[in-house]
Copies of this chain bind each other. A is one copy, B any other.
């Protein structure tokens, strides 16, 4: 009589939880987000939550592995491989992100950075994974610089440290943008990085 029909959907439920958690962790913080809030947001019962993620830490790890790493891959690494050279790729990535941010009403910061700040001090395992995401990001950018050097034979440039500078300036600009709730810092860094790249790439091309 009473319709107590249920459909088991482990993958779907898990995805809903991780989606809700990613959004909440990035926008309001890992520690600041309660499990009860996530239960309501994802519309899952306490039992389902405990079944998929026995502890909050497991959920944090899943968010990092399934969402944060993917976000870096999608917004940075893939565009990087799709462009002719690093400078144009970097400029387009900044342009894309600035455009997206201007449509939103709040600047929540870089997902990777946000997670790093909160959990890397308390949890060595999370820190290592997040460090690995930074590593993959750095490797991709560094490899692109190297490829540019090989094909376009531009002057001496350290691919590794230059990649670090690009990533650091992006991350830092995001933090500044978050503090000021303004995309200005990102625009500034885009301009300065473009000028820097132009100088480095022009240097050898002129000779």
Contacts and interface: CB of A to CB of B under 8 A. Distances in A.
Interface string A104-135: 00101100011011101110000100110011
| Identical subunits present | 2
A29 B31 contact: yes
Contacts of A134: 176, 179-180
A116 B175 contact: yes
Q: How large is the interface on A (under 10, 10 to 19, 20 to 34, 35 or more residues)?
A: 35 or more
Nearest to A30: B31
Contacts of A174: 172
A196 B170 CA distance: 17
Contact of A121 (B29, B172, B185): B29
A29 B165 contact: no
Give chain A's interface secondary structure class.
helix
Interface in A177-205: 178-181, 184-185, 187-189, 191-193, 196, 199
Nearest to A196: B196
A149 to B, nearest CB: 16
A46 B193 CA distance: 51
A113 B109 CA distance: 12
A9 B193 CA distance: 52
A154 interface: no
Interface stretch (A37-45, A48-56, A81-89, A155-163): A155-163
7 contacts: A29-B117, A106-B121, A127-B181, A161-B187, A164-B192, A169-B169, A172-B173
